[in-house]
A and B are shown apart, each in its own frame.
Chain A
Amino acid sequence: MFKTTPTVRLLLHVANLTVIFFILLPLVAVFIGSIQSERALQADTRRVLPLEVTLDNFTVILTKGQQRGRIFDQATYLPDNIKSFYTAFMNSMIVAGSVTLLTLLFGSLSAYTIARQRFRWTLFLMQANIVARFVPVIVLMIPLYVVMRSVGQLNSLSGVIIAEHRFSAALRDPDPGALLRHHPDRTRGSGAHRWLHAARRLLPHRRAAGDAGAGGLRCHHVHHLLA
């Protein structure tokens, strides 16, 4: 729309490259760190690029410490939890998958009524979901710890799934709700039951709503849990 002078274009490129540098810096640093041995890292503390490149760090994790590779020949210590890498990863996937499923299921039902059946209390429910986002994790961590301890759910996958389900409560409603709000009410006109109508409204949109919701939620859950 507006012509930019070569100087402005140059400044824009410099600004963009600065932002790209800021975005990539930590990720590139970790990647460079991961492809060299600890000895090489310690040998020259002023060098950015590695002297030698190795994938041994990945090998030792993926083989649960069984194939150490040459950089670990002299290593006297490997953390014990390296043996449970796959278990930890699987646990994360189970929790992330379960929470995503539960959240999508409950969220779709709730979103349908909030979008189509506009009662005062459904609006309140939506507001409650938004407010839930603001509740600091630490407030729930303490009572949930006490409750989970008393019901024997500490250090269990089911305990984590229940607790994590809360943290996604507020994320459920908006997208499928917005999708359904603008959809015509044809099946109701032809005499379908509310249940049938809800199913006919929700299921054809499972693809779009599911993709939008599940994608975001899966990112959210894996985001929180994989660490």
Chain B
Amino acid sequence: MSTLAVTIERAPRRPWYRREMSAGSFAFVMNVPTLLCLGLVLGYPVIYAAYLSVHRVGLGQLRSGVFAFNGWDNYVRVLEDPLFWVALKNTGIFTVVTVGTEIVLAVLIALLINQAGVWTSRVTRFLILLPYAIPPICNGLIWSFLYSFQFGFLNRILFTAGLIDNPINWAGNPDTALYAVAVPYIWRTLPFAIILVHAALQGIPRDLYEQAAIDGANAWHRFRHITLPMLQQIIVIILILRTAFAFAVFEEILAITQGGPGDATWVAAWYSYKITFSPPNNFGMGSASAFILTLMIAAIALVYMRLIYRRVTL
């Protein structure tokens, strides 16, 4: 009887730089730039904004580099400022108007461009992304040219159509100014919502419509009982996303009205900006108001994240 002797030779140990990394270390190293970026350009400023919001910070303190701690004083001053509540009310109106209009128009236009047999629908589908490519500041400038009281094209068109006799001061009238800013915002951001709804529409199985038609459902019934329920999830996502972004609207306000006339278009982000960068440059109070805005948006973001991850795991 013979025995088989097996000898296992140990492989020579590799130098550290040629050794295989563990999966965890490798993932960490690959993410170092992103972690650094998130930490330095996002995490640190947010924490620093929190720090500034509980300190007295003006231009004098910035020069000296010494910020005196003043507790919740900045938050109290912001919450006691009537202008902050005006800005918050305007933000609320702006958000409701823009998001509501966007969702209704997005569904209608998505249904419209979904009509493959209509040639004008194909033209609309081709052009629909155009406004999304316009920078927000340019968008504001373009629309302020359109709204101009004396030379604006909106008044020219209405004159030509015989709809008005005297020019309308769209952005200069306190009653219309906020809506005058809402229209350019909707114009710029609507394509995003349309694309999402259109993608969701294309995911609805055609069999459902065919079966409903066989059962005698008309176009309205098919929309009410098939299309709308199938779009529900994407509509909720758009609603949350757009609400969060509309809450922080800034560029269009800056380009078109700069908060005016009076305080008619002061919104939360504009309030923080003006408090911070206009004399007497109260950086602490500006940070406090910005933080209040962040908390509101964070609540919306939380709902969004929960929805998204529920959707992914379903």
Which chain A residues have a beta carbon within 8 Å of chain B's beta carbons? 1-2, 4, 9, 12-13, 15-17, 19-20, 22-27, 29-30, 32-33, 41-42, 45-48, 105-107, 109-110, 112-113, 117, 119, 122, 125, 127-132, 134-147, 149-150, 162-163, 165-166, 169, 172, 193-195, 198, 219, 222-227
Contacts and interface: CB of A to CB of B under 8 A. Distances in A.
A114 B19 CA distance: 23
A147 B167 contact: no
A223 B34 CA distance: 23
Given A1-B209, A146-B62, A194-B21, A117 B27 contact: yes
Interface residues of B, number: 90
B31 A165 contact: no
Interface stretch (B77-85, B139-147, B168-176): B139-147
B298 A134 contact: yes
Contacts of B24: 117, 119
Contact of B117 (A4, A140, A145, A147): A4
A13 B120 CA distance: 6
Which residue, A12, A15, A26, A163, has most C-beta atoms of chain B within 10 A? A26
A227 B136 contact: yes
A165 B156 CA distance: 42
Contacts of A32: 153
5 contacts: A12-B120, A32-B153, A125-B31, A134-B297, A138-B290
A186 B143 CA distance: 54
The 3 A-B pairs at the shortest CB distance, nearest first, are namely A227-B137, A16-B120, A136-B248
Contacts of B219: 2
A34 to B, nearest CB: 10
B153 A48 contact: yes
A106 B305 contact: no
B42 A132 contact: yes
Interface string B109-132: 100100101101101100110110
Nearest to A4: B117
Given A12-B120, A193-B20, A138 B269 contact: yes
Contacts of B179: none
Given A29-B153, A139-B290, A198-B30, 9 more contacts: A48-B156, A109-B31, A122-B27, A125-B38, A132-B42, A135-B297, A166-B41, A169-B38, A195-B21
B133 interface: yes
Nearest to B222: A2
Given A12-B115, A119-B24, A131-B305, A27 B298 contact: no
B272 interface: yes
A32 B142 CA distance: 12
Interface stretch (B4-12, B46-54, B231-239): B46-54
B66 interface: no
Contact of B38 (A128, A139, A198, A223): A128
B135 A113 contact: no
B26 to A, nearest CB: 5
B159 interface: yes
Contacts of B135: 222-227
Contacts of A130: 305, 308
B151 to A, nearest CB: 5
A45 B52 contact: no
B160 interface: yes
B27 A136 contact: no
Interface in B46-97: 46, 48-49, 52, 57, 62, 65
Nearest to B300: A134
B209 A142 contact: no
A135 to B, nearest CB: 7
A23 B186 CA distance: 11
B49 to A, nearest CB: 4
A222 to B, nearest CB: 8
Given A23-B130, A219-B133, A29 B20 contact: no
B136 A139 contact: no
B45 A147 contact: yes
A125 B116 CA distance: 41
B104 interface: no
B131 to A, nearest CB: 6
A143 B287 contact: yes
Interface string B216-253: 00010000000000000000000000001001101000
B283 interface: yes
B199 interface: no
Interface in B263-305: 269, 272-273, 276-277, 283, 286-287, 290-291, 293-294, 297-298, 300-301, 304-305
Given A106-B34, A109-B33, A139-B293, A16 B124 contact: yes
